[in-house]
Structure 1
Amino acid sequence: MVNKQKMNGKKIQFLFGFSFTLFLLSCSGTKNVVEVEKVKRDSLYTEIQRIGLEAARNNNVPGVAIAVIQNGKIVWTQCIGFADKENRKPVTPETIFNVGSVSKMVSAWGFMQLTEKGLVNLDDPVNDYLTRWKLPASQYDISKVTLRRILSHTAGLSVHGYGGSEQGTKLLSLEESLSGKTKRNGESVRLISEPGAQWEYSGGGYTLAQLMLEERTKEKFADYMKKNVFNPLGLNHTTYEWTEEMMKNSATAYDASGKPIKNRIFTEQAAAGLQTTVLDLAHFAELSLNYQPNPLHKVLKPSTVQLMEKSVLPFSDEGKSGLGYRFMYYEGFETVGHTGENEGWSAGLFMHLPTKSSIVILCNGSNGDRVWYPVYQSWAKRIKAN
């Protein structure tokens, strides 16, 4: 569920050498002046522009990229502020952001592709597919840990999330991470409740699924996703690794006080390690809203995408998930998608399936949830009222 907006803590405004509003840009890719002016007259565009700019200023978030989808198509995007405020580098449609746990929703496409290829069964014991590392013995039934339950956070597994490592440091192996050698919490992936008994968010489950994919395909997870998911879908600025090419267009990450920090890199790529642009992620949302075979380029069947967006039992007030997609609520208004928070980054993707509407919000600041949440509220109110 969407967390309540963080209201506590001192709000420190940051000032730039020249007007922040100078870099409030339309990056919709419209083809002529008439279309650009039409976008700018859109009342939702204007409202989100005002809300996003104010929230970014008040919460030390240098840059924001937003995309809005109506009737299953991107209608406009806008960019606010700086990808790198020290160098006065503005956010553009090509700016790369890390998107934290939004990674899970995207990685689920790779895992589900394995089921279509017959390499994995959604309801088989995941441990049976593993040789490099296996779930440790438990008082709970390990055979009930399945891909369906992992993707829906109902597998009873530990490790809520990951902190990553500073770029340039040596990463742990998947086996080391699963065994609990991470610096953030030192917690191994293990069963902490009976699989299928309750909803409990687990980034650790996605790390286990990442290992399963590597074992079944004999490929590195990032390589498999690029070749079999991103390239066919035309997501050409999306990767689970920080490549040199990606770094050229990357935003700088900023902590809660607005200070630049080094990018985080992750062994646990499926759970937290995705880099992408607002346009690529908005295109992913389009694909999640339009169940048509041709745009999917045989990456997934339309019926598989629809299955992923259906809730899996059990769920409760603590959370509700499909397969990679989470259900989120605002004043009784239900959306499906995901949010993500890593140090220096924050993101959200929300879809209203009945109207094929969506909003994507990417931020390069640790306080980004204080930006995307009021923007999301504004969008949700508008969709709910129509």
Structure 2
Amino acid sequence: MAHRAKIVAACAFLCIANGPLFGQAIPGTTHVPTDLGRRINEIESCLPDPVIVKGEPPSCHTLAERMQELHVPGISVAVIHHGALEWAKGFGVERIGGEPITPETLFQAGSISKPISAMAALHLVQQGKLSLDSDVNSVLTTWKVPASPAAPGAAATLRELLTHTAGFTVHGFPGYAANTPVPTLVQVLNGEKPANNEPIRLESVPGSQWKYSGGGYTVMQQLLLDASKRPFAELLRDTVLIPIGMIHSTYEQPLPASLKAEAATPYGVNDEPIPGGAHTYPEKAAAGLWTTPSDLARYVLEVQQSLQGKANHVLNPDLTKQMLTPGKGHWGLGLEIGGSPTEPYFSHGGVDEGFESLLVGYEHNGEGAVVMTNAKGGGRLASQVMMGIAAAYAWPDFQPVVRTAIELDRSVLARYVGTYQLAPDFSLVFTLEDGQLMAQATNQHKFPVFPESETRFFWKVVNAEIEFFPDSAGHVKYVVFHQNGQDDRGVKK
């Protein structure tokens, strides 16, 4: 049976091209314009490697190859060009041996839920029901932010919650598997059983530093509930989703039975479906959105057009500008801000159990894209597809990084073999195989790493580096993992 499953999976990866949906740029026709067809073919046939080694010829992979290598059964893409949803297309299958992915297939958005819920919070600010800079405890009634010895007398604000500067604990949430108890929101906030997270509490003075916190967005969820006196999914439907045309999206958790036939099945790293299917996330503001790339593209378009004062269905231009103004950590009110001062873009990634996605939109030139996958590790594929889109549409960003590799003696490489603990549930394991140093992260595939100095190595499959720190005797005690401007330390076990 397992052998047969592998054959079915191979067919799914090789037979990936499902019919595209063409949007606002070319209404009333399914004919593919020559330039558009060329761009889609370019993306499908040549995904650039995230890292290029200096002196080596550039290489690329087909989308089918990368899906098979990374064990991603399905992927859905929507591309915005010149301020319109130009095309959307599904690749692969919603479950191995099942129906093909279409532009209407639903995925869990993971943390891409945050910028959509942030827009709802800002809508309440616009209505005068919330303030960006008042103590959230002045509005919270069902639950209050407890006093904290780490921040005596401190008051957290909505602005700080949205920018990840409020100082709250809990980075993210694993969700709840099928047939397991699901906690109330207050139980999540207090870390009480059956919640599977630590209590959400202040661990630093609000406003003093940037630290990503899904916990802070869960406090924001309770704030919206207390301010609006409405169920969260209903509030988001009426204030954001319907007004901007996200008609295939919902914050209902779990997904209603009537929509399950439209949803992709989540997978782990080796073609194994997540037991029981999609997890349930009571932390709806942080991780609870079900949606499609096309619907998220409509969110991108709304932000772009609201900034210009052309389509302010949810926010006025002033609040939209505040949303996109970077502060600590290059974060605005719900979105990460990148690019150059003249061509900034906003973005957010998303990871739920078995779903990984990426959203990007440029503020001024009407460009953007959304990529969603239904497998753990699919974020790497989403990033590579985004680079392929960037190349096809001549974006100024998301280009491969060029690095220089050197040769090291096997005896040097052998010093780095071992397991390094970066978080309670995340480690990097380094092995030496046929003279090649290999790295494997928790619940992920194994990949080679290449030296750029005696102590610093890089991956080709992702733009990240690992730095080893030996003591005076040459024994490595810890590593620092560098990615996306963040540095995470891991101690050798």
Query: Please, what TM-score do these two structures have when normalized by structure 1?
Result: 0.88
Letter in 1 for 2:396: K
Could you tell me which runs of 5 or more consecutive residues in structure 2 were left unpaired when the two chains were aligned.
1-5, 48-62, 400-493
Pick aligned residue for 1:351 from 361, 367, 370: 361
Residue in 2 that maps onto 1:260: 273
Shifted more, 172-181 versus 239-248: the winner is: 239-248
CA contact (8 A) 1:320 1:327 kept: yes
Please say if 1:384 is aligned against 2:407.
no
Structure having the higher Rg: 2
**Quick one: structure 1 residues 35 and 123, their matched pair in 2 at CA, closer, same or farther if it must change by over 3 Å?**
same
Shifted more, 224-233 versus 249-258: the winner is: 224-233
Q: Within 2, Cα distance between the matches of 1:203 and 1:233?
A: 25
Please say if 1:311 is aligned against 2:326.
yes
CA shift for structure 1 position 185: 5.3
CA shift for structure 1 position 86: 2.6
Residue in 2 that maps onto 1:35: 32
Letter in 2 for 1:25: N
Letter in 1 for 2:300: A
Structure number with the higher strand fraction is 2
Please say if 1:20 is aligned against 2:13.
yes
CA contact (8 A) 2:336 2:347 kept: yes
1:314-338 deviations in whole A, cap 9, x for unaligned? x2xxx321001113469xx953120
CA shift for structure 1 position 15: 5.5
3-state SS of 1:65 partner: strand
Summarize the alignment of residues 40-51 of structure 1 with structure 2, pairs less than 5 Å apart. 40-42=37-39, 45-50=40-45, 51=47
Letter in 1 for 2:282: T
Q: Within 2, Cα distance between the matches of 1:36 and 1:375?
A: 21
Please say if 1:67 is aligned against 2:62.
no
Q: Within 2, Cα distance between the matches of 1:68 and 1:114?
A: 30
CA shift for structure 1 position 47: 2.7
Letter in 2 for 1:246: L
3-state SS of 1:18 partner: helix
Please say if 1:320 is aligned against 2:317.
no
Please say if 1:283 is aligned against 2:280.
no
Could you tell me which runs of 5 or more consecutive residues in structure 1 were left unpaired when the two chains were aligned.
1-12
Letter in 2 for 1:286: L
Q: Within 2, Cα distance between the matches of 1:204 and 1:277?
A: 25
Shifted more, 45-54 versus 268-277: the winner is: 45-54
1:193-235 deviations in whole A, cap 9, x for unaligned? 1111110000001100100111111111111111222122221
Pick aligned residue for 1:130 from 127, 131, 140: 140
**Quick one: structure 1 residues 231 and 169, their matched pair in 2 at CA, closer, same or farther if it must change by over 3 Å?**
farther
CA contact (8 A) 1:104 1:272 kept: yes
1:1-51 deviations in whole A, cap 9, x for unaligned? xxxxxxxxxxxx975363634331242236435435552222xx2232123
Residue in 2 that maps onto 1:4: none
3-state SS of 1:24 partner: coil
Structure number with the higher helix fraction is 1
Q: Within 1, Cα distance between the matches of 2:192 and 2:146?
A: 15
3-state SS of 2:364 partner: helix
Please say if 1:273 is aligned against 2:281.
no
**Quick one: structure 1 residues 36 and 21, their matched pair in 2 at CA, closer, same or farther if it must change by over 3 Å?**
farther
Shifted more, 101-110 versus 353-362: the winner is: 353-362
Pick aligned residue for 2:238 from 206, 220, 227: 227
1:327-374 deviations in whole A, cap 9, x for unaligned? 3469xx953120011110001001222322111000011111120111
Q: Within 2, Cα distance between the matches of 1:383 and 1:201?
A: 27
CA shift for structure 1 position 144: 3.2
Pick aligned residue for 1:296 from 286, 289, 312: 312
CA contact (8 A) 1:142 1:191 kept: no
Summarize the alignment of residues 187-198 of structure 1 with structure 2, pairs less than 5 Å apart. 187-198=198-209
Please say if 1:54 is aligned against 2:65.
yes
Letter in 1 for 2:165: T
Letter in 2 for 1:250: A
CA contact (8 A) 1:155 1:194 kept: yes
Summarize the alignment of residues 356-375 of structure 1 with structure 2, pairs less than 5 Å apart. 356-375=366-385
3-state SS of 1:110 partner: helix
**Quick one: structure 1 residues 134 and 264, their matched pair in 2 at CA, closer, same or farther if it must change by over 3 Å?**
same
**Quick one: structure 1 residues 161 and 352, their matched pair in 2 at CA, closer, same or farther if it must change by over 3 Å?**
same
Q: Within 2, Cα distance between the matches of 1:380 and 1:18?
A: 28
Please say if 1:109 is aligned against 2:124.
no
CA contact (8 A) 2:336 2:348 kept: yes
Give the share of equivalent positions with the same residue, in percent: 33
**Quick one: structure 1 residues 60 and 121, their matched pair in 2 at CA, closer, same or farther if it must change by over 3 Å?**
same
Q: Within 2, Cα distance between the matches of 1:240 and 1:36?
A: 36
**Quick one: structure 1 residues 38 and 26, their matched pair in 2 at CA, closer, same or farther if it must change by over 3 Å?**
farther
Residue in 2 that maps onto 1:6: none
Letter in 2 for 1:123: D
Q: Within 2, Cα distance between the matches of 1:142 and 1:63?
A: 49
CA shift for structure 1 position 275: 0.4
* Higher RCO, 1 vs 2 (CA within 8 Å, ≥6 residues apart): 1
CA contact (8 A) 1:163 1:184 kept: no
Residue correspondences, number: 364
CA contact (8 A) 2:115 2:334 kept: yes
CA shift for structure 1 position 277: 1.0
CA contact (8 A) 1:199 1:320 kept: no
CA contact (8 A) 2:119 2:315 kept: yes
CA contact (8 A) 1:150 1:205 kept: yes
CA RMSD in angstroms comes to 2.4
